[in-house]
Amino acid sequence: MKVSKFLYNIVFNICVAIIMSVMMSFVLALVNTWIPGVGAPKGFPLIWLKSFIVAVIVAIPVTFITIPFVRKILGFLEINN
Residue 79 scores a pLDDT above 80: no
| 47-74 pLDDT tens trace | 999 999 999 999 999 999 999 999 899 8
| 7-47 pLDDT tens trace | 999 999 999 999 999 999 999 999 999 999 999 999 999 99
At residue 75 the predicted structure's pLDDT band, cuts being 50, 70 and 90, is confident
pTM of the full structure? 0.81
Q: What are the b/e assignments for 18-53, b being 16+ CB within 10 Å?
A: beebeeebbeebbeeeeeeeeeeeeeeeebbeebbe
